[in-house]
Amino acid sequence: MITLGVEEEYFLLDPETGLPLPRVDAVRAAAGLQPAADSGEVQEELLQAQVEVATPVCRDLDEVAGHLLRLRHAVSAAAEEAGCRLAACGAAPLAARDPVPVAHAARAGATREGAARLADEQLICGMHVHVGVPDRPTAVEVLNRIRPWLPALVAMAGNSPLWQGEDTGFASWRTIVFNRWPVSGPPPDFDGLADYDGRIGDLVATGTVLDRGQVYWQARLSERYPTIEVRALDVQLRTDEAVLFAGLVRALVATALREHAAGAPFEAPPQELVRLADWHAARYGLTDTLIDGAAGRRPARDVVSGLVDHLVPALDAAGDTRQVMSLLHRLLAEGTPAERQRQALEAGGMPGLIGLITAQTVGVDH
């Protein structure tokens, strides 16, 4: 069984105004006292109004679900103790005039010094899925093969339609904000491990990025673990949606491993087409069309159907088919989190939207 793990980033919001609150130190201190969460599982992010959790290495989706539920509830309890509320949304719906201070870590300070206002505007939260791979050379081949599917994941996972109190018109505004970093967006195609390492080395040598960890491609080889790390996803409103994407990403990696081992032919799409497809996916989510490689614009749900067909053998092999398909049908029936955020805003204004986000973060129907 191919192992996996999930990292999620959340906002800390003022319970009255919905504005981001710089309370990560208090939340981490309180989380360390919660019996359900180890303090090492709860980390700071770039800004003090964000907090990150990481599951242990998992072997199945039920294990992923259990850890995410445990961590969300523990950190939510810690947030309540610190006078704020936990919110799993891809972009903060509101922002104060003064920027949120960066975290105390030296790396966060160096990032702020180098990125200036871009760091101030990193009011975005993502979900990262790590999937185990046998070795780094194989990981690069897997990276090449999953790359064309990243825009479909962006569209399905859109959970950041609002920015500074207004509807952006995008399903994933987080994708647009994050793609402003010097090295970001979909990764290029690589000619093996030496090419991958050499190109990253050249980027770091410029001094514009701090280190290899600041190569913010939507999918990359982890520098800490023997994994492929897929970073294209907005953090999800509900835990079950996070589990859905964990299952889809693991199946993508498993499919790529199988195809690579079999020597299946593969033609990498041009980088400019993948980047265009990524932007288009962030703009429309599942409400319109997606760019499907050489096939051009196709109905979004047809592209999702093609992704599922591509993954069925891997889902069957992992025993994930029933669970993933059930969760996918729910997503398609209810709409993406971005669509549900818009519905909540229309029905109840900003209080209704904040209520939806904070309730569904901890599994409460709203």
Structural domains in the chain, CATH included, are: 4-361 (3.30.590.20)
Q: Strand (E) positions, the chain?
A: 4-13, 42-44, 50-54, 85-87, 126-132, 162-163, 166-167, 184-185, 216-217, 219-221, 227-234, 289-291, 297-299
Q: How far apart are CA 224 and CA 221, in angstroms?
A: 9
Nearest Cα to 244, choosing from 356, 325, 363? 325
Q: pLDDT tens for the chain, 366 residues: list them.
A: 899 999 999 999 999 999 999 999 999 888 776 666 676 789 999 999 999 999 999 999 999 999 999 999 999 999 999 999 999 999 999 998 899 989 988 888 998 899 999 999 999 999 999 999 999 999 999 999 999 999 999 999 999 999 999 999 999 999 999 999 999 999 999 999 999 999 999 999 999 999 999 999 999 999 999 999 999 999 999 999 999 999 999 999 999 999 999 999 999 999 999 999 999 999 999 999 999 987 789 999 999 999 999 999 999 999 999 999 999 999 999 999 999 999 999 999 999 999 999 999 998 776
Tell me the CA distances in angstroms from 162 to 92, 341, 349, one per residue in order: 7, 8, 12
Place of tokens 């070795």: 135
Q: 0.85 cut: is pTM over it?
A: yes
